[in-house]
Structure 1
């Protein structure tokens, strides 16, 4: 297959469409749309709440279990293992690696280990192959397939691996239109889904530091006196001048697999220099701050929750708006019941049982399955460890107004760590 770079979509007609969309949304009070379903929430005999959590199921294998698979692929799969936040060797990982790389590419990438930054010359020496040939292959992987990343200018360009998730999963799929997906991309998405569904990523939740924090939906904190600038998306993005939006890769994968929820996709956001790079590569659409705020407002109205990064590259950041049925980060809780990768919330909902009608709308609207309502026996359950403090339950409870958001006692604002170079964010921009 010949790889071609995606061309930017910046036609006049599209600008007009987005301008019309802005006018349609502007000044409109948030009304949560209820025609979307969350497959992680069930209604069982009148009891509305989370589905039974799945247990991670990674069946660990050894090289000897794959006698017909070239060793170079197995070594690459090993490189994407636990040292790079991936799973141990398993069928799903091997299948994905065999699809991501040609055997020629794998013969080079086998020599690129987790945490290493290597030039084409260094890898050529290890692979015993011509330097120019190796550089050409690395350029395809870094600048056309977006599987690995590069830093610096030739001839001192250094190449490095990024995790499958968060990492290559996003850089491979991020784009402005589903129409640009090739059969290779679609197969990658399906193979990635099979790997994710083993639950390997959820297992990491217990041993990793939180990488993101979810923001309360705007309407839920309009009258909350304890809300901080920290809690508002508009404040979070105020330090940036450049923004680009693309399709959410998690919902893309579920759509390809026939399990899409139908919620808006164009809300994956790059900020700062990475936004300009994404647009230059044709993988993001530049927007003004006001349009971005309207996009996020529509996302919230569709039951999506926006997150902010706790690990950034200097001058850059990213954000997306998630659902509990598609988002890989949320599903670590909503599907596998393993909190840990998400920062503790600033707020938790408090219910006035005298006002509660036990209608179940709050449980249906909770993306994490933190609320259980027995509509027949009029009881309510709340799993605080699953709650991300998004406030969608409160927005659903407009009629009874039985819910309020209360600050968590002793809450401390998590530190945002800034990297001067490297890391996943530099990967998003392809630098």
Structure 2
């Protein structure tokens, strides 16, 4: 009973973090935690917040010897259960959210059982996430879909984001890794997620990815454009990652695709627009769209504006150049927070407001 109680406490603790960890009727979330955390690790994780702290401060709360606490925290960081930041000789530890965080940090430790549990849990997690105005990721246009004369914010320009955020690590996509282990892999590259800054440092230390140059990162963006992947960076002007996502594997895109109006739930300043007279009904755009936002009509393609997420994949391969990206009307745009701290603060406030509304 005592062991079960600590996992219940950890589930509640993770659910108080901005991204949440919603409870389920089946209790699959507890099963996931038991696969990942020992009871002792669960107790330690319950004491951490999103504020990075030295082991000495955490040891005070636990009323334990700092040396012992430091050793356990370091092992937990190595296992992908919490986040670690090193600056010079100082090391600080903080809580990791379940998604995006703990789950992604286990890309090298997936098992069929863990995958099955995650797939059972994912609809509950994303149902809660879709109710927030502020998501963790946003969508930016692939580089070739935006012309030099178009107005685009610096934090939406993929090449610029890569050039200005270093060090850079490339890591395996956990969604494609998951599908590969269950025999459902697509033909996109496995090594395709870009991680920057402190996140890159954590990934390198934990063996989750390898450091690459700016030119190598730009090549990954080019490959993503060619094989039809959506660029999803952190929903902040100062990014920590860029995911290159396919609609067949990405849990976020798969759950968005189930919605009637995916465009309402993403942060994206752009939408595809068709020149009907130039369209020759070749169907290339239909194949490229990850949201089923384009269909073929009698005389030309038809873009469903409620489904278009502004990724630009349909633009770059249209042989007649009949599709362009246009900026959405201001009233349909969502602003991008300056930092992840601001993103998480907004998410937390939105979740608290929703809980008060249900009370």
TM range (shorter): 0.7 to 0.9
Displacement of 1:367:
0.9
8 Å CA contact 1:93–1:195 kept in 2: the answer is: yes
Task: Please name the residue that 1:344 is paired with.
Answer: 268
Aligned length: 340
Q: Partners of 1:270 and 1:194 in 2: how far apart?
A: 27
Task: Please name the residue that 1:384 is paired with.
Answer: 305
In the alignment, structure 1 segments of 5+ residues that lack a partner are 1-66, 174-180, 425-431
Which among 102, 119, 123 is matched to residue 193 of structure 1?
119
Displacement of 1:235:
2.2
Q: Spell out the pairing of 1:237-316 with structure 2 (5 A cutoff).
A: 237-272=162-197, 274-276=199-201, 278-311=203-236
8 Å CA contact 2:168–2:212 kept in 1: the answer is: yes
Q: Partners of 2:137 and 2:258 in 1: how far apart?
A: 18
Displacement of 1:371:
1.7
Displacement of 1:324:
1.8
8 Å CA contact 2:143–2:157 kept in 1: the answer is: yes
Which among 149, 159, 175 is matched to residue 225 of structure 1?
149
TM-score, normalising length: structure 1: 0.67
Q: Spell out the pairing of 1:82-161 with structure 2 (5 A cutoff).
A: 83-90=17-24, 91-109=27-45, 111-112=46-47, 115=50, 132-142=67-77, 144-151=78-85, 159-161=93-95
Which among 312, 325, 330 is matched to residue 405 of structure 1?
325
8 Å CA contact 2:168–2:195 kept in 1: the answer is: yes
Task: After superposition, give the CA deviation of every residue in 1:147-195 in whole Å (9 maximum; x if it has no partner).
Answer: 112457899965432211112122232xxxxxxx34x555434432331
Does 2:142 align with 1:207? no
Displacement of 1:369:
1.8
Task: After superposition, give the CA deviation of every residue in 1:40-92 in whole Å (9 maximum; x if it has no partner).
Answer: xxxxxxxxxxxxxxxxxxxxxxxxxxx79721112112212254422432222
Displacement of 1:234:
1.8
Displacement of 1:366:
0.4
Q: Partners of 1:256 and 1:241 in 2: how far apart?
A: 31
8 Å CA contact 1:211–1:341 kept in 2: the answer is: no
In the alignment, structure 2 segments of 5+ residues that lack a partner are 346-359
Task: Please name the residue that 1:41 is paired with.
Answer: none
| C-alpha distance 407-122 of structure 1, shift in aligned 2 (>3 A) | closer
TM-score, normalising length: structure 2: 0.78
Which among 350, 368, 371 is matched to residue 294 of structure 2?
371
Displacement of 1:103:
2.5
Provide the secondary structure at the position in 2 that maps to 1:214: coil
Displacement of 1:209:
1.4
| TM-align CA RMSD | 3.7
| C-alpha distance 185-146 of structure 1, shift in aligned 2 (>3 A) | farther
Task: Please name the residue that 1:322 is paired with.
Answer: 245
Does 2:316 align with 1:395? yes
| C-alpha distance 107-363 of structure 1, shift in aligned 2 (>3 A) | same
Q: Partners of 1:141 and 1:122 in 2: how far apart?
A: 17
| C-alpha distance 157-272 of structure 1, shift in aligned 2 (>3 A) | closer
The structure number with the bigger radius of gyration is 1
Displacement of 1:116:
6.6
Task: After superposition, give the CA deviation of every residue in 1:250-279 in whole Å (9 maximum; x if it has no partner).
Answer: 222222233322211222112345435533
